[in-house]
Amino acid sequence: MDTLGKTITCLAAIAWKKNSLSLEKVEVEPPKAGEVRIKMTSTGICGSDDHTIKGIISVKYPFIPGHEGAGIVESIGEGVSSVKPGDKVLTLAVPQCRECSACLHPKGNFCEKQDLLPSSGLMLDGTSRFTCKGEKIYHSFRTSTFTEYTVVPEISVVKIDAAAPMDKICIISCEVATGYGAAVHSAQVTPGSTCVVFGLGGIGSAVVMGCKDSGASRIIGVDINEEKFPRAKALGVTDFLNPSNLKKPVQEVVNEMTGTGVDFAFEAIGLTETMVAAWDSCNLSHGVCTIIGVSAPDLKLSLSAVEVFTGRTLKGTCLGDYKTRDCFPQLVTAYLQNKINIDPLITHQLPFDQLHKAFEVYHAGKTIRCVLLF
């Protein structure tokens, strides 16, 4: 293999500053000890990537965005044992080090080696593997998948079934785990229950799928973009609400529609007002509100204090609470065995060099998920 041990020059997307994304030739160094260099095959455009490019989620500029990725291992650094060159892999926005308190806890998945909160933009040794025009380029979430080659820590990558279709499977690493997982694994939606899903983009659509697969009897979908409604209906939404057309707050309407509030509410947008609305849509005694959306780090939620003691649960979830290296290969296998159908969650596929077009379609609100192919 002629790239082994050498710096690779390839095409990558760089956010030089807020709201500026350009395709550049970058140099990608070989992996150091405990690291893996991956030749990307596909990556999805997630709402969180848009948030990083816009500077809503705090990151270091200039950086290479992207976290929802699939690829093939090109080379490995010293000591790497869980993957080898040629393996099909997924990148992990939250790693699994298997040593920290979160990894050792039976339920936790927010590994202490994550680089989201706060984000250093650097590998575990405090350095970057990317340069462009002589300048150091930061990583995002230690995944940076908007590039033909990336380098990630071994704990941020997992081998998947060799039969996995690489043009689609990337969405398991965020959209499916995050959305579907929020419903079936984090909230554990029960048969016959009522649900409301705020946001019917990529993540919200996967939540709807999880609610439906769990046997929910009613799924209320909330979005300001009615173009999202037909696809959401096909996935299982039974009632739609567009908050901008309502004369009263959306939570009041949800409470009237259900009589007592829903059993399960999900927020898949990342706005504090929709998080509060999701909470206020829940049944006072047993409702479970699951927050999936990522908001800016300095924002606070304001909830009616007296309505907290009544028994409701407010829960956050990241990547469906799945321990990523243990569980993501199982999700891939479940897809290959036709136990989860991820296909309807991908509405667009474009070559990587048409990244700008892909963002245009995303910003126009046309996509559930647009996947870039390398």
Which residue among the candidates 111, 174, 289, 327 is catalytic per the annotation?
174
293 binds, among ligand APR, Zn ion, none (CB under 5 to 8 A by kind): ligand APR
Strand ranges across the sheet with 218-222: 239-241, 218-222, 194-198, 264-267, 288-291, 313-316
Residue identified by tokens 């929709």 is 274
Q: Which residue, 14 or 206, has its beta carbon nearer to ligand APR?
A: 206
**The Cα angle at residue 368 between residues 90 and 262, in degrees rounded to 5:** 100
46 is an interface residue for Zn ion by CB under 5 A? yes
Task: Write down the least CB distance from residue 12 to ligand APR, Å.
Answer: 21
Residues 30, 181, 293, 329: which binds ligand APR (CB under 6 A)?
293
- What's the length of the chain? 374
181 is an interface residue for ligand APR by CB under 6 A? no
Q: In angstroms, how far is CA 276 from the centroid of its own chain? A: 21
Burial of 309 (0-12, 13-18, 19+ CB in 10 A): exposed
DSSP-based three-state secondary structure for 359: helix
Catalytic residue status for 48: yes
Q: Which residue, 75 or 144, has its beta carbon nearer to ligand APR?
A: 144
Q: Which residue, 235 or 269, has its beta carbon nearer to ligand APR?
A: 269
Q: What is the DSSP string of 162-208?
A: TT--TTTGGGGGTHIIIIIHIIIIII-PPTT-EEEEE--SHHHHHHH
Task: Write down the least CB distance from residue 7 to Zn ion, Å.
Answer: 29
Residues 219, 269, 291, 371: which binds ligand APR (CB under 6 A)?
269
174 is an interface residue for Zn ion by CB under 5 A? yes
- Picking from 182, 181, 211, the residue whose alpha carbon sits closest to that of residue 196 is 211
Task: Write down the least CB distance from residue 200 to ligand APR, Å.
Answer: 5
Which residue among the candidates 48, 75, 119, 128 is catalytic per the annotation?
48
Tokens of 206: 């996967």
Burial of 296 (0-12, 13-18, 19+ CB in 10 A): middle
Task: Write down the least CB distance from residue 337 to ligand APR, Å.
Answer: 26
220 binds, among Zn ion, ligand APR, none (CB under 5 to 8 A by kind): none
CA 114 → CA 180, 324, 358, distances in Å?
22, 12, 28
> Would you call the peptide bond into 118 cis, given omega within 30 degrees of 0 as the criterion?
yes
Task: Write down the least CB distance from residue 53 to Zn ion, Å.
Answer: 13
Catalytic residue status for 67: yes
Question: Helical H runs in the chain?
Answer: 47-54, 101-104, 175, 181, 202-213, 229-235, 250-258, 272-280, 324-336, 355-363
Catalytic residue status for 356: no
Catalytic residue status for 144: no
Which residue among the candidates 42, 67, 211, 282 is catalytic per the annotation?
67
Q: Which residue, 149 or 198, has its beta carbon nearer to ligand APR?
A: 198
Which residue among the candidates 42, 51, 97, 327 is catalytic per the annotation?
51
Residues 14, 37, 51, 352: which binds ligand APR (CB under 6 A)?
51
Residue identified by tokens 């990529």 is 202
CB atoms within 10 A of CB 364: 10
Q: Which residue, 151 or 318, has its beta carbon nearer to ligand APR?
A: 318
Position with the least CB separation from ligand APR:
201
Q: Which residue, 80 or 203, has its beta carbon nearer to ligand APR?
A: 203
Residues 54-113 that bind Zn ion (CB under 5 A): none
Catalytic residue status for 327: no
Q: For strand 313-316 and strand 288-291, is the pairing parallel, antiparallel, or unpaired? A: parallel
Residues 194-213 that bind ligand APR (CB under 6 A): 198-204
Q: In angstroms, how far is CA 348 from the centroid of its own chain? A: 17
Residues of the shown chain interacting with Zn ion in the complex, contacts defined by CB under 5 A: 46, 48, 174
List contacts with ligand APR (CB under 6 A). Answer: 46-48, 51, 178, 198-204, 222-225, 228, 243, 268-271, 274, 292-294, 365
Q: Which residues are identified as catalytic?
A: 46, 48, 51, 67, 174
